Amino acid sequence: MDPLNPFTLVLLLNSAIFMGVGRWMFMRPPKKINDLVGYRTRRSMAGQEEWDYAQKISAARMERYGWIEAVIAMVWIFIPGVDSFIETMIATVGIIASCVVLMVQTENDLKERFG
């Protein structure tokens, strides 16, 4: 049992970022369509209604995925004997997968709601 293993550290750091940014964006989403801040894709920037909807659902998902990552990181502490490099790679792939799933789900919701 190693609470300071790379998997746990990387995933906990990312989960804190996801939770913090997700909460902040949910509470204070960017009001106007812009090129700097917010969930920015062609579909989310198609109009103000799409923009507002995308900001709320992507922020809520980001926070939720942060919590899921935190739980996974805490459980991983009890998994013995995995190589540090492999742990880091698994954590990195998990973070990338979280981002991809967040975008795919948000884009699907936008497509379903706005066409």
pLDDT digits (tens, 9 = 90+) for 49-102: 999 999 999 999 999 999 999 999 999 888 887 888 998 899 999 999 999 999
- Where in the chain does DSSP place strands (E)? none
Q: Which two tokens stand for residue 53?
A: 């909807």
Between the alpha carbon of residue 113 and those of residues 85, 100, 110, the distances in Å are: 42, 20, 5
CA of residue 98 relative to chain centroid, distance: 5
pTM of the model: 0.87
Residue-wise pLDDT for 8-53, tens only, equals 999 999 999 999 999 999 999 999 999 999 999 999 999 999 999 9
- The answer to whether the beta carbons of residues 30 and 55 sit under 8 Å apart is yes
